[in-house]
């Protein structure tokens, strides 16, 4: 081979990232997404103070972020199909980081609503693009990887919350915190996007519309995702109050409910790919949902703080693999691109995450929080009941 040919071959091989680098690039994106989202969560009280708004207005702000997320989901499949996961990840990641940077300096509350709309949209674009990348990596390497990637999201969320708490305790100005996180997040996302897989256009025969309305198997997978997100959202939003109000735990003990649930979910996700390699998606999804339902019932029946903490941790173990299994299945539905399948199922999941906690609140207001949380047991049981049919219709994907 001539020197020119050797140089061309070397340049060609260097243009394609190695498997190890692309995996770490995807892990970085998932970590950054969790970190940025947690930073917004940490500063919700700061936003309330800076913009001098009450809880009702704060709820409107959260709704704006949710609406932005749904808008992003409606466009993600088409954008990824046209441009690829790499630029969409970059756009979404930079939009999310930019919104965090401007979180505390908008001129008015109306401006904040627009900013949160952008934040929700950017976050969901990044979400679908990085999951599409993860699905393609799974396909190319012919082994489960999705659970580990989602474990990085959980780890990013925990790290973001821990750093935010530590900096606030140390008296660091919130503006300094958000600017540092935004700059670091933008740089990390930019690096990761340069190491992603090159764009592969959808195969012939694959639908290319901008948003695929869930129907058929996607509708069933989306319903499963909604049930899982309802349970997850209920635990995130109501577990601490349950220990504090219903059981009478001190606030410092009650706060451990969220931590035990999140930590258990993150740790389980890092072992999730091992489980997915050994058990079918249908079996794992059903067993996971049954564990979540039984653990939540244990929490409510025991009425003891330490049993409740163990129970919430087991709920986290049960829910850890629900999203990775469902997203992997959605990415492999015949005639649908990975991005479209994930966006379609994720949109129903987001709706569940948005609607579930308020539903629990309405029921709690009418009766009690304990009674309301029994609804969570029912949703987890429905997820277990529907899992075999959903995965069978998905063609046995996500094994």
Q: Which CATH class is domain 217-393?
A: mainly alpha
Give residue 185's pLDDT.
97
Give residue 89's pLDDT.
95
Contacts of 310 (CB under 8 A, 6+ apart): 260
CA distance 399 to 396: 7
Q: How many CA atoms lie within 13 A of 120 on its CB side?
A: 22
Task: Please check whether residue 160 is in contact with residue 36, taking contact to mean a CB–CB distance below 8 angstroms.
Answer: yes
Contacts of 395 (CB under 8 A, 6+ apart): 332, 333, 334
Give residue 11's pLDDT.
40
Give residue 212's pLDDT.
60
Stretches in the chain below the pLDDT threshold 70: 1-17, 199-214, 251-252, 395-399
**pLDDT tens per residue across span 82-140:** 888 899 999 999 999 999 999 999 999 999 999 999 999 999 999 889 988 988 898 88
Task: Please check whether residue 237 is in contact with residue 258, taking contact to mean a CB–CB distance below 8 angstroms.
Answer: no
How big, in percent rounded to 5, are the helix, strand and coil portions of the chain?
80, 0, 20
Contacts of 176 (CB under 8 A, 6+ apart): none
Contacts of 216 (CB under 8 A, 6+ apart): 393
Q: How many CB atoms lie within 10 A of CB 208?
A: 14
Give residue 17's pLDDT.
62
Say if 18-194 and 217-393 have the same CATH topology: yes
Angle ∠(115,118,124) on CA atoms, nearest 5: 140
CA distance 297 to 291: 10
Domain boundaries, the chain: 18-194, 217-393
Q: What topology does CATH give the domain 18-194?
A: Growth Hormone; Chain: A; (1.20.1250)
Q: pTM for this structure?
A: 0.78
Helix axis angle, 19-42 to 146-169, nearest 10°: 40
Give the position of tokens 């987890």. 380
CA dihedral over 364, 368, 371, 377, signed as positive or negative: positive
CA distance 26 to 140: 14
CA distance 295 to 292: 5
């Amino acid at each position: 081979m001539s020197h020119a040919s050797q140089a061309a071959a070397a340049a060609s091989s260097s243009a394609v990232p190695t498997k190890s680098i692309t995996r770490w690039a995807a892990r970085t994106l998932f970590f950054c997404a969790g970190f940025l989202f947690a930073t917004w969560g940490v500063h919700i009280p700061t936003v309330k103070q800076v913009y001098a708004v009450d809880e009702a207005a704060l709820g409107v702000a959260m709704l704006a972020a949710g609406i932005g997320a749904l808008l992003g989901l409606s466009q993600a499949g088409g954008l990824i199909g046209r441009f690829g996961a790499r630029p969409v990840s970059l756009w979404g990641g930079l939009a999310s980081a930019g919104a965090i940077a401007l979180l505390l300096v908008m001129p008015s509350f109306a401006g904040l609503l627009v900013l949160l709309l952008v934040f929700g949209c950017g976050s969901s674009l990044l979400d679908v693009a990085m999951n599409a990348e993860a699905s393609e990596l799974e396909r190319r390497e012919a082994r489960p990887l999705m659970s580990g990637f989602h474990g990085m999201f959980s780890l990013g969320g925990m790290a973001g919350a821990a750093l935010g708490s530590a900096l606030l305790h140390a008296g660091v100005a919130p503006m300094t915190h958000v600017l540092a996180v935004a700059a670091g997040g933008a740089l990390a996302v930019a690096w990761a996007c340069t190491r992603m897989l090159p764009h592969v256009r959808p195969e012939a025969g694959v639908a290319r519309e901008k948003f695929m309305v869930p129907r058929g198997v996607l509708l069933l997978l989306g319903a499963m995702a909604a049930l899982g997100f309802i349970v997850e959202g209920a635990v995130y939003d109501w577990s601490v109050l349950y220990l504090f109000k219903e059981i009478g735990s001190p606030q410092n003990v009650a706060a451990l409910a969220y931590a035990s649930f999140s930590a258990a979910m993150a740790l389980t996700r890092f072992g999730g790919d091992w489980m997915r390699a050994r058990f079918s998606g249908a079996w794992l999804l059903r067993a996971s949902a049954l564990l979540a339902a039984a653990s939540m019932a244990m929490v409510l029946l025991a009425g003891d703080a330490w049993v409740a903490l163990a129970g919430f941790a087991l709920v986290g173990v049960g829910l850890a693999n629900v999203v990775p299994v469902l997203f992997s299945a959605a990415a492999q539905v015949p005639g649908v691109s990975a991005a479209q399948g994930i966006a379609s199922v994720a949109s129903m999941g987001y709706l569940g995450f948005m609607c579930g906690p308020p539903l629990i609140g309405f029921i709690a207001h009418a009766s009690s929080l304990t009674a309301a949380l029994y609804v969570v047991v029912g949703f987890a049981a429905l997820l277990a009941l529907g899992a075999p049919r959903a995965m069978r219709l998905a063609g046995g994907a996500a094994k």
